[in-house]
């Protein structure tokens, strides 16, 4: 996986990564936030949180750009409406 180049987007993504709590499930959006998983990879913290993408991927490493919505090595795929139940703890 490519590591984001050093720019303002990486600074923002790194700051977001500092706010994440280990063991959390994190809903990931498109744009700058999509780089946060790469920051955790770069820091050796991959697996500290579970990424959930509204297109259905749970876990793994979310892909970027045109492939956003897919994930490499995802743990599961679920329909978008079921994610509300997932985040509510059921």
pTM here?
A: 0.82
Cβ-proximal residues to 18 (8 Å cutoff; 6+ apart), any chain: none
- pLDDT per residue, tens digit, the chain (90 aa), is 677 789 999 999 999 999 999 999 999 888 888 899 999 999 999 899 999 998 889 999 888 888 888 899 999 999 988 888 888 886
- CA 29 to each of CA 37, 76, 90: distance values in angstroms, whole numbers, following the listed order: 11, 18, 22
């Amino acid at each position: 996986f490519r590591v984001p180049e050093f720019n303002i987007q990486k600074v923002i993504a790194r700051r977001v990564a500092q706010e994440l709590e280990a063991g959390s499930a994190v809903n990931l959006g498109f744009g700058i936030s999509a780089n946060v998983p790469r920051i955790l990879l770069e820091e050796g913290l991959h697996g500290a949180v579970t990424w959930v993408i509204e297109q259905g991927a749970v876990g793994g490493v979310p892909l970027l750009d045109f492939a956003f919505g897919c994930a490499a090595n995802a743990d599961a795929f679920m329909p978008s409406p079921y994610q509300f139940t997932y985040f509510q703890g059921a």
